[in-house]
Amino acid sequence: MQHQDASSTVAERVAAPAQPQAGGALDPWRLVRTDRNPARDAHFESLFALANGHLGVRGGLEEAPSPSQASFLGGVWERTPIEYHERFPGFARHTDTRLPVVDGTRIGLTLDGQPVELDKGELLAFEQSLELRDGRLRRHTTWRSPTGASVEIQAERIVPWHTHGLLCLRYRIRSIDYRGPIALDSCLATGVTATGQGDDPRIGVRVDGGLSLTHRLADLARASVGQATQASGIRLACVQGHRLPDAALAFDTASTDDNGARQRYTAELTPGDSVTLEKYVAYAWNEPGDDTPHTSLLERAEAELAQALEQPFEQHLARQASACAGFWQTVDLAIDGDPATEQALRVNLFHLRQSTAPGGHASAAAKSLTGEGYEGHYFWDAEAFVLPSLACTAPALARGMLAYRVRMLDRARAHAREMNHARGALYPWRTIGGDECSAYFPSGSAQYHINAAIAFALKLYVDATDDTSLLLDGGAEMLFETARIWLQAGSYSQRRGQAFCIFQVTGPDEYTALVDNNHYTNRMAQQHLRHAASVADWLASEHPAEHARVAAAIGLTSGEPGEWRRAADAMYLPVDEQLGIFPQDDAFLEKPRLPESLRSDTQHNPLLLRLHPLTIYRYQVCKQADVLQAFVLAGADIDLASKRRNFDYYEGVTVHDSTLSASTFGIVAAEVGYDYKAWHYFQDALRVDLDDSHGNTAHGVHLAAMGGSWLGLVWGFGGFRNVDGTPTFAPSLPTAWRGYRFGLQWRGRQIRVTVTSGGVEYRLIDGAPLEIRHRGRPVILQADHETVMPLSGKAALPRPFKGVIFDLDGVIADTAVVHHAAWKKLAGEIGLPFDDSIGERLKGVDRRASLEILLEKAARPYSEAEKEALATRKNDYYRQQIERFGPDNLLPGARDAVASVRRAGLKTALASASRNAPLLLERLGIAELFDYVVDAARIARPKPDPEIFLAAAAGLELMPADCLGVEDAAAGIASIRAAGMTALGIGQAEALADADRLLPDIAAFDLGQLTT
């Protein structure tokens, strides 16, 4: 359905971003700090950091820098040897660590000869804010000195996106009641060192060498500093200059020392007077192997500074605001009814945008340019979490990330030789300069899946932009070289029917290392090999000269693409017969689960900081999403039922010690219809840094989690997938929102997707007509037209079942009231409390377990003999009542429901916690409708343990995955889900949130509607 009149579109019914209101309503365009707690400085310095992909500046205060205030250049790092007591072939020989460089944020303030220290005196007002509309950090401070004089400080800064290495600041001081001299000391500070030393591998390691001071100069016009690394061959120059909008402020002196350079400006203030200093800091640096002298670097920095000084701060700010406006126009984000979530998404997207730059000189570091965490290294999450967000919101930056990988292809080839691969390229697990920096190969170099992540990102980028030039500019060569590794890491197994198996690798779950047939790795390799073969065919057909050049350069034979396809088609991707899930690897399901004694920790520290790796490896425990990650990146051909069963199983063994995990679980939860879980996982990923939920935001933001939050919105709730180059959507609406909107770019078009309870509106903002799909249905978008589609509820249960297993109490007959009365009578006789909340806990629980619940508040312990006697007494009360039961006691529609299953040719079973189930079926007159009955007498463990439903499936001679379980109690739903079956809930949503589908009562049971 299309409409010409845009005045009544669904998009307009999504609230515009909230603005500041009376009473302090949250503005999603601003992140504001009003407390001045020094213990939180490092956290906010990361959140308030500004960057442009080359330069990153943490958000500290100008006149009161904390020890963790620092600036970083993505291209400045030091190389440190890795020392082993025992070194083996192929071990990483050195690590690269990004270093804090000279920091230009410092402006010391002196009143009447006394330095202003905000922690002394009285802070009358304080607000620091990240202004997301224009990419600016602002601060307003009112401070009273120990002597009683009050001043107001206003500071602003930007790191312009259109430059390489420029920092712009505006610093204004106004006197409230102070009279006397002031001095502003504008500094280039070099005394900054990384703070992340210690035992936490997420933060930092020992650095040999580091930056030394090679040059320092300060005079009336300029102050400059030069630095150089001792091992990596990197040099940098930093120069600062100033604009003085107020004639009252004048140059005073300049000086240098071992901590850098300083220029002092002075003025006289009277109450009401103010002075403003505009400060500009420019950086230039070389790359390793580039012999550019310091004098040339200084000239480059001075040229950029001179250009910056030609314009006042307001013009720089206007240009930055214009760049931000273009980005936000593409993002096109709004959340109706939840400004806090919209704010968090905007903060995360802002950091994504500023994390990298076009040109191919760098990628997106795990902590961006906001801190020293992870040494500034690039990992697989750059391609798996960050680039997918940028490909649709800032494609030039995504291209730059891939161009960086192409530029490092020779280093990846060298790493492959280190790993004894005769040909091909293997990208390092963690790197800056292109070499492997992981000293612990089981959770580092063994993660071959980084090759597949890069291949995935390349395909997504080309599909999203139609920019095939990247394939011609080295992308195809990179794709072929990385694909070659799989045929060397794996082989065809005679014991598995010539299936292609990949051995001794580590998947995303770093708590399970060096395994055979990691499901994620195998599935991603399969996708990688097929894509490489397809691109080889395309290149040969469309660009034969380029194909010939690449083939000659890397020795690509005409038969290799066929070998890749053969391995992909034969890839070993087994399904466990008992559980109906994908084993994470060959041995994972054989291991015991991690004991609670090892899992629990009052400090909530991740396992990797508490347990020896071998201890972790011996248990069935996941650090993060692994199998589920395959569903997100390569799951187009996997049915929803399989995804649901795997979600259910792996959720129970995943501790989410990685910030990458929550977004993946949330996306899969949304896809399989677990709306409640999708929402909570989305919130976990969304607020990793705002809430510092992992305790290390002080060392930099978690860029991949930030990318994951956008994926959670667009891929999760929006249901976006790239299916053969066509954007496909299957949106859902979280109950917490009235609606939401997001935008994305696809092949030069701008698409807006708006979701409300009234439907889903797709709008092509500009560009040629484009085909998309809504829940598999083709939709042609045209500019200036909106297409509104229905917002579907839960989908049909996704399989043709072979059997249905019914609970008894509350599903077939309302015996719960009889149980309730019997337990209440017993409780009264022995003087124990009994109310509806206790009665609810007893639902679906067997007799002995119910007795234990009843006795929780007993004043004395009961012996086993006494317990047995009490259970028998309760059962006697119960049997007295059910002896009078007959067909009239069946719940309405119960007989028809069971009979309809039989008529459809499916098997039926009963799984009841009651030992009286066979008697009840006889009394109710429906015993002949069931092929198999399991009651509490046949099992050892009560619900929510899956034993009773597994026993029922076994009695029907069916796989659990082929069965539908029907229950009215939360414990029963949990039992069904744990058994690997689909769960149909009968009753209220509040108590049965984990059911796959919900009916108000058994009378609504319609097998045809459930499965079509």
Cβ-count burial 294-307 (b if 16+ within 10 Å, e if not): beebbebbbebbee
Yes or no: say if 731 and 755 are a contact pair by the CB < 8 Å rule.
Answer: yes
Question: Hunting for tokens 């076994």 — which residue is that?
Answer: 954
Yes or no: say if 628 and 646 are a contact pair by the CB < 8 Å rule.
Answer: yes
Yes or no: say if 251 and 219 are a contact pair by the CB < 8 Å rule.
Answer: no
Nearest by Cα to 572 from 491, 480, 489, 479: 491
Which two three-digit tokens encode residue 400?
């730059």
Q: How many helices (H) and strands (E) does the chain have?
A: 31, 36
Which two three-digit tokens encode residue 549?
């050049």
Q: How far apart are CA 252 and CA 771, in angstroms?
A: 66
Q: How far apart are CA 175 and CA 138, in angstroms?
A: 19
Which two three-digit tokens encode residue 524?
């991603």
Looking at 302, 510, 671, 761, which residue is catalytic? 510
CA 423 to each of CA 475, 573, 633: distance values in angstroms, whole numbers, following the listed order: 17, 26, 27
Q: How far apart are CA 382 and CA 403, in angstroms?
A: 13
Question: Hunting for tokens 């029917």 — which residue is that?
Answer: 497
DSSP 636-693: TTS-HHHHHHHHHHHHTTB---STTHHHHHHHHHHHHT-HHHHHHHHHHHHTTTTTTT
CA 490 to each of CA 124, 233, 470, 875: distance values in angstroms, whole numbers, following the listed order: 66, 39, 29, 60
CB atoms within 10 A of CB 854: 23
Say whether 671 is catalytic.
Answer: no
Q: Are strands 107-111 and 997-999 parallel, antiparallel or unpaired?
A: unpaired
- Does residue 922 come out as left (phi exceeding 0), alpha (psi in the -120 to 50 range) or beta? alpha
Q: What residues pair up with 703 in beta bridges, in sequence order?
A: none
Q: How far apart are CA 777 and CA 682, in angstroms?
A: 27
End-to-end CA distance of the chain: 24
Yes or no: say if 842 and 819 are a contact pair by the CB < 8 Å rule.
Answer: yes
Q: How far apart are CA 849 and CA 871, in angstroms?
A: 10
Q: Is the peptide bond before 944 cis (omega within 30 degrees of 0)?
A: yes
Q: What residues pair up with 882 in beta bridges, in sequence order?
A: none
DSSP 94-152: EEEEEEEE-B---EEEEETTEE--TTSSEEEEEEEEEETTTTEEEEEEEEE-TTS-EEE
Which residues are annotated as catalytic?
510
